[in-house]
Structure 1
Amino acid sequence: MSDYDRSYARTIPADRADMSVDAGLRSFMLGVYNKVALGLLLSAALAFLTGTFPPVRDLMFATTADGRLAGYTLLGMIVAFSPLAMIFISMFAMRNPSPRQAGMLYWAIVTSIGAGMGVLALVYTGTSIFQTFLITAAAFGGLSLFGYTTKKDLTGFGSFLIVGLIGLVIAMLVNMFLQLPAMAMIINILGVFIFAGLIAYDTQRLKMTYYQLGGNEAAMGVATNYGALSLYINFINLFQFLLALFGDRR
């Protein structure tokens, strides 16, 4: 993934590129959004399967008599941590990926995340999951539109968010042991703001990447898959943090 990361060199400042009239850019971004939408649809279907269909659910999760989460099975733990493992492995094993390899990575991560999200159906009510998803979709659309249309260069803002994301991960790991409700609340609030900002930042980054690639079809194929992966992960994390803040538990 080294050819497509958040530290790429910008070749055209955001305030000098007229994005609204470029048909090629619109086609490129539409390809990214279509892939994100399909990824979310697949994730929803897999989450419904693993969270509500007993033969599959019981392979991944331990549940109480009233259907609430009691813990993970070994398979459930493997599925839960596999997206992170795939991302780290790909950073070293896929130095110059082809569009096909990038696409396989995208769908593998989407599949594992979707399967693992079945846990949400065991923790939260179906109504709150649906309502939070709609709120997340609306927020994603507005934030991505802002990132697409703004003339302001968000590079510095994005760097700040990435540092914040590292701190957020550390805080989450610490609170796994401390189990402090107040700290969990702060983490959830910060998570919402960080991933909301990353949606706008990554959208603008995709625009700049399109111009940087200069019509290279193979490189744009890779960028489409990695761009979709970035936005998909931002969407999923924003959804989960909002659900943790406002969702009704079972």
Structure 2
Amino acid sequence: MQTQTNNTMTMARARQEASTVFLAKVFNWMAIGLAVTGVLAYFTAQTGLALTIAASPLFIVLILAELGMVFYLSARIEKIQSGTATALFIGYSVLNGLTLSTIFLAYTRASIGSTFLITAGMFGAMAVYGMVTKRDLSGMGSFMFMGLIGIILASVVNIFLQSSSLYWAISVIGVLVFVGLTAYDVQKIKTMGEQGIMEQGESAIQKGAIIGALALYLDFINLFLMLLRFFGGSRD
């Protein structure tokens, strides 16, 4: 009986250690993606290319390319090579850096920097919650995904309505949705580590880390953009 208990405890510790290693790999790739996006956005704005992007159809082309890459990577992650998945993630980070350079045209650099720090704090708090909570967040994840669909639909409608009230409602709900998705995604990634992805070979580990990093990257960027609506200081 004692031997069985010891074996169970040993297996539990091994799963926890594997999950920690996998989470670290995911967060490392997320950080790389954010660094690529942030540096490129800043220097694109500094060169004046951001104004060209914002004032031309290139902005829409970049947005469509980003959406295509996200859908392709999410749908084909099991079939593509790990190197291809990594290249697509970095490529997406580059394209997003180009599109996000346009925020420097609307907001001051100081307010962008302070909003980034606020985002990092909120994201970090929810990531820790997702890692340590014993509560199953899968139900909340489904609810937050429904909220995300609602935000997208409401945003499309507001393109035509131009309602300030709807704009702020979308912003508030958006913050709540991406805060919730952060905790849910971190817990899901932690579970992947506990369920043996670290035993499936380097290719599976890399692809799992990339798709996890993409989810957290999107949570962070979208939370940042929603908060920027509240804390961003206009350049006007």
TM surpasses 0.5: yes
Q: Which runs of 5+ in 1 are unaligned?
A: 1-16, 62-71
Superposed CA offset, 1:39-89 (max 9, x none): 1111111111222212x334413xxxxxxxxxx312222123321122234
Q: The residue matched to 1:22 in structure 2 has which SS? A: helix
Matched, 1:57 2:42: no
Superposed CA offset, 1:149-186 (max 9, x none): 10100010101111111111100110011110000000
CA RMSD in angstroms, aligned pairs only: 1.9
Match of 1:30 in 2: 24
Q: Which runs of 5+ in 2 are unaligned?
A: 1-10
Aligned residues: 223
Match of 1:65 in 2: none
Matched, 1:43 2:37: yes
Per mean C-alpha deviation after superposition, the further-off stretch among 208-217 and 231-240 is 208-217
Residues 20 and 201 from structure 1, CA distance in 2 versus in 1: closer, same or farther, beyond 3 angstroms?
A: farther
Match of 1:216 in 2: 200
Q: Which amino acid aligns with 1:37?
A: A
If you compute each CA radius of gyration, which structure gives the higher value, 1 or 2? 2
Q: Could you tell me which of 150, 160, 172 is aligned with 1:167?
A: 150
Structure holding more helix per residue: 2
Residues 94 and 32 from structure 1, CA distance in 2 versus in 1: closer, same or farther, beyond 3 angstroms?
A: closer
Q: Could you tell me which of 77, 101, 110 is aligned with 2:84?
A: 101
Q: After superposition, where does 1:140-151 map in structure 2 within 5 Å?
A: 140-151=123-134
Match of 1:236 in 2: 221
Superposed CA offset, 1:106-155 (max 9, x none): 11111111111001100001111000000001111111000001010001
Q: Could you tell me which of 137, 140, 148 is aligned with 1:154?
A: 137
Whole-Å Cα distance in 2 between the matches of residues 190 and 19 of structure 1?
38
TM-score, scaled to structure 2: 0.88
Whole-Å Cα distance in 2 between the matches of residues 35 and 93 of structure 1?
19
Identity over aligned pairs, percent: 34
Q: Which amino acid aligns with 1:136?
A: T
Matched, 1:227 2:221: no
TM-score, scaled to structure 1: 0.83
Residues 92 and 48 from structure 1, CA distance in 2 versus in 1: closer, same or farther, beyond 3 angstroms?
A: same
Q: The residue matched to 2:136 in structure 1 has which SS? A: coil
Whole-Å Cα distance in 2 between the matches of residues 92 and 231 of structure 1?
17
CA contact (8 A) 1:47 1:117 kept: yes
CA contact (8 A) 1:47 1:114 kept: yes
